[in-house]
């Protein structure tokens, strides 16, 4: 299961709650603080898992519908709808270790679908229900809703997640 690194960073216990209310313990498979992505594993029957298809975030256009699924303010299984309001944003990583080189996440998706505290690590979907990004943060002066939402694009997800599953980490090239 894919989420944000900042959601699981420092956790001593990780639990996953499914849409039907089932809660299970999870183990951390791998993290990438630089892209703020992480993978956790749950021990459930395969029939209980329903992976979603991944769309190519490089094909997105401003004005396309975006759907954010998450747990804002602890309100489970919340869906908000908006539009892609910007593409190609570059944001500093909110969870990266301040020691050493600083990594900024490229090609961030900007959306006006409500992203609030608790949405982190949730899915940003297109109008056909395919993953276009992982909700990341809201830039706001009020602390919620009144601001701009951002998501890590599926193009980065598809690069990082296989490495996290295989080795538990992802090495980013840099100069």
Q: Return d(Cα 110, Cα 137) in angstroms, integer.
A: 10
Give the C-alpha separation, 129 to 114, whole Å.
17
The C-alpha R_g of the chain, in whole angstroms, comes to 15
Which residues are the active-site residues? 6, 36, 120
CA distances to 45, 63, 119, 147, 154 from 116, rounded to whole Å, are 31, 21, 6, 9, 20
Interatomic CA distance for residues 133 and 150, integer angstroms = 9
| Cα–Cα distance for residue pair 85/56, rounded to 1 Å | 17
């Amino acid at each position: 299961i894919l989420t944000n690194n900042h959601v699981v960073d420092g956790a001593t216990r990780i639990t996953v709650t499914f849409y039907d209310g089932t809660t299970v313990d999870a183990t951390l498979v791998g993290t990438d603080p630089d892209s703020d992505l992480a993978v956790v594993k749950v021990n459930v029957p395969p029939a209980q898992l329903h992976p979603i298809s991944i769309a190519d975030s490089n094909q997105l256009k401003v004005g396309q519908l975006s759907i954010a699924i998450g747990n804002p303010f602890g309100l489970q299984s919340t869906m908000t709808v908006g539009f892609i309001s910007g593409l190609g944003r570059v944001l500093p990583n909110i969870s990266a270790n301040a020691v050493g080189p600083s990594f900024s996440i490229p090609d961030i998706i900007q959306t006006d679908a409500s992203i609030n505290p608790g949405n982190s690590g949730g899915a940003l979907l297109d109008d056909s229900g395919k993953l276009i990004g992982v909700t990341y943060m809201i830039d706001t002066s009020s602390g919620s809703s009144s601001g701009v939402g951002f998501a890590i694009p599926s193009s980065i997800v598809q690069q990082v997640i296989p490495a996290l599953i295989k080795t538990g980490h992802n090495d980013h090239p840099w100069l």
